[in-house]
Amino acid sequence: MCLIKDKWPRRYADHISPGYEKAVKGVNTIKKIIIFNKQFTRKEDKKDYWQYPWQTWERKTYDCEDMAILHMDILDRNVKTEELYFIIVGGDYMKDGKRTRGAHAITVAKANIEAGHPAWHVFSNKLIITYDQEEASDHDFIEWGKRWYPLGIKYFEKRDRTGKVLRRRWKWIGYL
């Protein structure tokens, strides 16, 4: 995933596939999102291309930012969210005994989805984690990112539902 060049796919109504609109209509609970996600296969891009949500649906393949963008679009269309963010965390982890750097994109939403009250939901590819807490800050998002990068976070980016960058940090944010 490229962290420098802005590759956010703009969402214009004239670019939306009618089949996609029909497919995502009514996908408004965690259970329905989990069922919807089953049709997709993970496939890393040869070139880093951030797909439109309907391209992910049509191709049935994704990498992390494609699935995060797809989840943002589904939530934005079908679920009343108090807050909705596209988050990228980058950092270090161990792979095959070597320190490795990577990046991962997630969708984070504060919404009343099946909990009976607003809670924070983290959508990471096909995994959905709910944090039953009232408020969350960028610090919480970084802490959640340590799940993927336990040796330290090097990069953090937060975007709103339109793709506008709200915050970007490029330094060592901390180690566990």
The domain of 24 spans 13-174
Evaluate whether residue 6 is within a structural domain: no
The pLDDT value recorded for residue 136 is 87
User: How far, rounded to the nearest angstrom, does the alpha carbon of residue 27 sit from its chain's CA centroid?
Assistant: 17
Evaluate whether residue 5 is within a structural domain: no
Contact 111, 122 (CB under 8 A): no
Evaluate whether residue 1 is within a structural domain: no
Write out the chain's pLDDT in tens, 176 residues: 444 456 777 654 556 788 999 999 999 998 999 999 999 999 987 777 888 899 999 999 999 999 999 999 999 999 989 899 999 999 999 999 999 999 999 999 998 887 678 889 999 999 888 888 888 888 888 888 888 898 888 999 999 988 899 999 887 665 44
Evaluate whether residue 62 is within a structural domain: yes
Three-class SS of residue 87?
strand
Three-class SS of residue 36?
helix
pLDDT tens readout for residues 24-57: 999 999 899 999 999 999 998 777 788 889 999 9
Beta bridge partner(s), residue 85: 108
Q: In this structure, what token pair is assigned to residue 13?
A: 């109504």
The pLDDT value recorded for residue 3 is 47
> What is the domain count for the chain?
1
Contact 133, 38 (CB under 8 A): no
Contact 110, 125 (CB under 8 A): no
The pLDDT value recorded for residue 50 is 87
Number of residues assigned to the chain: 176
The pLDDT value recorded for residue 176 is 40
Evaluate whether residue 149 is within a structural domain: yes
